[in-house]
Structure 1
Amino acid sequence: MTDRLAGTESNLQTPSGCPVHAAPGGCPVSTQAQAFDPFAAEYLANPAAALQWSRDQEPVFFSPQLGYWVVSRYEDVKAVFRDNVTFSPSIALERVVPPSDEAMETLKRYNYQMNRTLVNEDEPAHMERRRALMEHFLPENLAAKEDMIRQLTRQKVDAFVDSGRVDLVEAMLWEIPLTVALHFLGVPKEDMDALKEFSVAHTVNTWGKPSPEQQLKVADAVGRFWQYAGTVLEKMRREPDGTGWMHHAIRMNAEIPEVVTDSYLHSMMMAIIVAGHETTSLASTNALKLLLSDRLVWERICKTPELIPNAIEECLRLEGSVVAWRRRATRDTEIAGVAIPAEAKLLIVSASANHDSRHFENGDFLDIYRDSAAEHLTFGYGSHQCMGKNFARLEMRIFIEELSRRLPHMRLSEDQQFSYLPNLAFRGPQQLLVEWDPALNPERSDPALVDRRVSFPIGAPSSKEIARTVRVADITEAADGIRILHLEDPDGLALPAWSPGAHVDLVAGEFSRKYSLCGNPSDPGYTIAVLREDKGRGGSRFIHDKVTKGMTLRLRGPKNYFRLEEEADHHLLIAGGIGITPIIAMADRLKQLGRHYTVHYCGRKRTAMAFAERLLAEHGARAVLHVSEEGSGADLASIVAGCGKSGARIHACGPARLLDSLGELCANLPEGTLRSELFVTDASGAAQPGDTAFEIELEDSDLNLTVPAGQTLLEVVRAAGIDVPSDCEEGLCGSCEVRVLDGGVDHRDRVLSASERAEGGRMMACCSRAKGQKLRLAL
């Protein structure tokens, strides 16, 4: 069955009033929601900035101009991606503007019958077809494409390297991805200019807002594209031994015609020619524009090409080529507490979600060392995540590695105006002018440089391998056994800003340890406090005994899994020992905001309590010290009494015994009252005597795997090629959380509350295991 020329057409007329009584704020919708226009120049130039108001104030809103509910925050967009049953992808390729009768007649003349594709297909058909067609996208098969991509790139760079000025889009960033896509598909390289026209027409036809006059021209190009795809498909059918993805699809059509149907082949031929190159072309253009806009960042990449994979992830996060996708609610539901009626249409804006500071610390900042960058949603998430994501990564890495090596002095041409094709889905400048002095080309003095190369593993970069270099600017003493390290970038770059509760991973010698940031978030450098623990694993001893002023260390972060909930009516901050480091930063912030708060700081003796004097001096009566040797130990029961009625939020950091006691005292308080952070685990997350193997069924991937007694669930699913983010891998941070659909969980983390564990709907893949023989997971 066709989808009536790719779907039920959208309704753009402005309703006379609020479309649903449950719209946020009541009827009519808010002024900003009324004014939202995804085709406005401001939005096209920077969709994330244009939706800052939404992320801050109204993360789910109805747009009367568009006729869609708009979702802008990271967790909400990810939740919609995750649930492809409640939120059907069936309207992903629906026209935004209903075609005119004249345009429909034009398409009929070409017998245009675009069917469902992997992008807009519901289950179970989607996963059946995806599994049948996934083989060519596996990392081991993509690795064989590197030499071809590099050769094409070098040929293009050779053609302009001595010119001194070029439009990178015209010179390489459009043609190479299209050539690679055609090669991957097994489609002959024919009439590149026509294919470019077809791709633009397909984008405008599906996601754009063409005028009535433009509709006829677009419809004619789309119709010719449909005929072209059909002609090529028939030619390929006559080549039974042909290579490439489309030949594989044709063979699957012969083997399993009920899954890979005849009409599906024609639709996919047309769709994947576009999908296979346009997003990569735009993403590459966005990335180079972003990197060349920050000279220090570009120069660092030129000097250290090992940074390129993560720099690309950060560019995909900040300036991805995919702005948004569309979904349809199949039932009455809620997103972030907002009622969404059945059949409502959703615009889920990944470009906004990728800037959400609730998930990405300092989310608008370009940080090529950001070890959570690969958690961006530019490739989507869940069962509809882009199959070609690793292909795009491979091409982008080669483009930037070749250009940064051969033209490190390249710069953006001044005074150029960047223009973007008006549409809901894809975004990237239509040209990118760069210039350089050919006399300074490094290959003129070192011809061998042309043939050098740096190869990267296929797939997302490992967060464990991403660390920036910092220099110890100063060392001071904070208290008995506590040293303060002041850290700075060796080249004078400002380190990324951070928010209270954030921490970094400091790599010193062979040790990697987590430390909360405790200075001023607006300072260009970082401040951490390190307690010497003679009975610890050796990291703190190394820092106290070996680290000196002027020494360089490695650092990952900042990251924040202990975020301050600033809007609460009252804040109760509780610190034990060195746990004061995030707590004092929270107190400073609450004082700055003028909030109501109290700080309780517990320690054995005053001389061993870092920042005690500053806390008293700067926070006065709001700060209470509980010093055991002075007989003023903390009565935790009295401290937390009344918190449930007052609507207070408790933030606590300290030793496990302190946090365990608070957990027991707060067990009957409203969910979310207590938030805590612990940087040292006991043995609960490690392998334990008596552990046994268990089976896992991955619902979204249709895989069944075994987790042996000596391995974690995280290790097993990654070995199977499933991307699961992680950070601490000790059950402390919550970044490796996976959704549990069925089965009991042996929880070994320090993240979930007792009620969350009892619900049984999620677990930490790095440490927790099955209670029984099997778990069914949403992966």
Structure 2
Amino acid sequence: MTAEAGAPALVRAAAPEVDLFAEEFAADPFPVFARLRDTAPVHHDPATGLWLVSRDEDVRRVLLDTVTYRNDNTLRSVVPLRLPALRIMDRVGFKTLPPALFNNSGDSHPALRAIVLRLLSAQQVRLATPRIERITAEELDVMAADLRTTGRHDLARGAARTVPVRVMLDLLGLTGLARVDVHTVADWTDAFITLFWGRTEKDRQRELAHQVAAFYTWLCELAEIRDAPEDSLLAALARQRTPDGGPLSREVAVAVCSNLLVAGHVTTTQMITTAAHRALESRVHWPELAGDPTAAGRWLEEILRREPSLTAWRRVTSRETRLGGIDLPAGAELLLMLSSAGNDPEAHPAPERLCPMRDAGHRHLGFGLGRHRCPGAELARVEGRVFLSACADRFPGLRPASPEPPPFLRLVSFRAPARLDVADPHPHREGHHETR
């Protein structure tokens, strides 16, 4: 039975039309989420072949049942890539990423995850907090200079982007080994998510494929380093053994590094950018964040509920099952709509309201749930709290540079402002002290 055939005609007819790549959907997906939850909580999307799962209860059920719902499909391209793009990546040996962290339901997953959990543990993040604060201050210096010289700064491609990349390279012990600048790494990871989670034209696919190929080549070079620091990710991967006792392949080491750099940069940057956008938009919440990491943390939790940067994630059924009243065949590809779950009134009363004091607290799916919950959740939270409280403290008069809403990324699993131009009417205000 195909996925198309498995969708009852009555449910499909009642469901709204969904274009996951549409500009209108990216700008305001919440009405579509509501109609899906009400009319077709498990809805087949013929354009992508994905089953859209929109209710909080169903999404949680899938995330917690790792036997029926596997994560083997999470890193496949949503839209089939064209032959020219595939050839570009094939020339550097990149065909697909083997099972590592985010696409691994096999026996090797626990050991690989354990490496990451040790590197990004709560204790390690606490020890790294002074470095995170220093990196943030340095990037806010750059932002201050930008505001003085040009009158504006694009947070999405500026400070909110460079801080997570620098922090991730630092915590993984790659800073001295990177041999490329931070903006290049950020460009590569942005290209990666655009190619695999976007819908792009042939010429654009070729451009992205060249960047992804360069990213993959760089990762392969890193994986070949034999004198990496003992506390680095590369050294930990070199020490790791497979279930049969052999060393990890270069391809698996590359996949782990890729997973962490993409997730560590992309989702954290987008979380910070969205949180800053909504706080500045309200004109009320921005001053409340100034110098107060606790207030910034509460604001982040609400943003992670309402507008998580990882808006949706994929699973594939290992057997026939029933979900949300719909019979699904084995091999059905699901899109778990985490953002819709966070706006489900059955789980979150008055979900349209941004309420930092909401009783639900951390009870959202912004970092997933269960066995595959994001291992970098604590790091992302600390980065967000440090950045927002420091930025609001240093730039209390910051405001959107334009009354027009910013454009949003049009990707299946990621959503955030693609640009966030901000201005400061008082760039020389006392208290804006540079650290370098």
Q: TM-score, normalised by structure 1?
A: 0.52
Taking the aligned partners of 2:279 and 2:211, their CA distance within structure 1 comes to 35
Structure 2 counterpart of 1:229, from 219, 222, 225? 219
User: How do 1:329-478 and structure 2 match up within 5 A?
Assistant: 329-438=317-426, 441-443=429-431
The alpha-carbon deviation at position 261 of structure 1 amounts to 4.0
Taking the aligned partners of 1:171 and 1:403, their CA distance within structure 2 comes to 13
Taking the aligned partners of 2:291 and 2:170, their CA distance within structure 1 comes to 32
User: How do 1:55-134 and structure 2 match up within 5 A?
Assistant: 55-113=37-95, 114-134=97-117
Q: Is the 1:23–1:61 Cα contact (8 Å) retained in structure 2?
A: no
- Corresponding letter in the other structure for 2:227: R
Q: Which residue of 2 aligns with 1:37?
A: 19
Q: Which residue of 1 aligns with 2:158?
A: 171
Give the fraction of aligned pairs with identical amino acids, expressed as a percent. 27
User: How do 1:153-302 and structure 2 match up within 5 A?
Assistant: 153-161=136-144, 163=148, 165-187=152-174, 188-189=177-178, 190-235=180-225, 237-239=226-228, 241-253=229-241, 257-258=245-246, 260-302=248-290
- Corresponding letter in the other structure for 1:238: D
Taking the aligned partners of 1:183 and 1:221, their CA distance within structure 2 comes to 23
1:313/1:246 CA distance change after superposition, 3 Å: farther
Q: Is the 2:54–2:341 Cα contact (8 Å) retained in structure 1?
A: yes
The alpha-carbon deviation at position 299 of structure 1 amounts to 2.9
Q: Is the 1:133–1:248 Cα contact (8 Å) retained in structure 2?
A: no
1:303/1:140 CA distance change after superposition, 3 Å: closer
Q: Which residue of 1 aligns with 2:303?
A: 315
* Deviation digits for residues 510-552 of structure 1 (CA, Å, limit 9, x no counterpart): xxxxxxxxxxxxxxxxxxxxxxxxxxxxxxxxxxxxxxxxxxx
Taking the aligned partners of 2:242 and 2:323, their CA distance within structure 1 comes to 42
The alpha-carbon deviation at position 232 of structure 1 amounts to 1.8
Q: Is the 1:42–1:50 Cα contact (8 Å) retained in structure 2?
A: no
Taking the aligned partners of 1:126 and 1:439, their CA distance within structure 2 comes to 49
Structure having the larger proportion of residues in helix? 2
Q: Is the 2:408–2:419 Cα contact (8 Å) retained in structure 1?
A: no
Q: Is the 1:406–1:441 Cα contact (8 Å) retained in structure 2?
A: no
Q: Kindly indicate whether structure 1 or structure 2 has the higher relative contact order, using CA contacts under 8 Å at least 6 residues apart.
A: 2
Taking the aligned partners of 1:286 and 1:359, their CA distance within structure 2 comes to 22
Taking the aligned partners of 1:91 and 1:142, their CA distance within structure 2 comes to 30
Taking the aligned partners of 2:115 and 2:185, their CA distance within structure 1 comes to 27
Listed as ranges, the gaps of 5+ residues in structure 2 are: none
Query: Which secondary structure state, in structure 2, belongs to the residue aligned with residue 30 of structure 1?
Result: helix
* Deviation digits for residues 101-137 of structure 1 (CA, Å, limit 9, x no counterpart): 3322222211114211210111333223222442112
1:413/1:75 CA distance change after superposition, 3 Å: same
The alpha-carbon deviation at position 369 of structure 1 amounts to 0.6
Q: Which residue of 2 aligns with 1:735?
A: none
Taking the aligned partners of 1:153 and 1:103, their CA distance within structure 2 comes to 36
Structure 2 counterpart of 1:141, from 124, 129, 139? 124
Q: Is the 2:224–2:250 Cα contact (8 Å) retained in structure 1?
A: no
- Corresponding letter in the other structure for 1:117: A
Taking the aligned partners of 2:108 and 2:102, their CA distance within structure 1 comes to 12
Taking the aligned partners of 2:216 and 2:54, their CA distance within structure 1 comes to 34
- Corresponding letter in the other structure for 1:398: V
Taking the aligned partners of 2:31 and 2:128, their CA distance within structure 1 comes to 37
Taking the aligned partners of 1:204 and 1:287, their CA distance within structure 2 comes to 21
1:122/1:50 CA distance change after superposition, 3 Å: same
Structure 1 stretches of at least 4 aligned residues deviating more than 6 Å after TM superposition: none
Q: Is the 2:155–2:421 Cα contact (8 Å) retained in structure 1?
A: yes
Taking the aligned partners of 2:369 and 2:15, their CA distance within structure 1 comes to 28
Taking the aligned partners of 2:115 and 2:395, their CA distance within structure 1 comes to 42
Taking the aligned partners of 1:266 and 1:69, their CA distance within structure 2 comes to 30
The alpha-carbon deviation at position 31 of structure 1 amounts to 5.6
Q: Which residue of 2 aligns with 1:25?
A: 10
Structure having the larger proportion of residues in strand? 1
Q: Is the 1:183–1:244 Cα contact (8 Å) retained in structure 2?
A: no
Q: Is the 1:416–1:433 Cα contact (8 Å) retained in structure 2?
A: no
Query: Which secondary structure state, in structure 2, belongs to the residue aligned with residue 430 of structure 1?
Result: coil
Query: Which secondary structure state, in structure 1, belongs to the residue aligned with residue 52 of structure 2?
Result: strand
Larger Rg: 1
**Number of residue-to-residue matches in the alignment:** 426
Taking the aligned partners of 2:142 and 2:108, their CA distance within structure 1 comes to 46
Taking the aligned partners of 2:219 and 2:163, their CA distance within structure 1 comes to 20
The alpha-carbon deviation at position 364 of structure 1 amounts to 1.1
Listed as ranges, the gaps of 5+ residues in structure 1 are: 1-14, 452-779
Query: Which secondary structure state, in structure 2, belongs to the residue aligned with residue 293 of structure 1?
Result: helix
Q: Which residue of 2 aligns with 1:665?
A: none
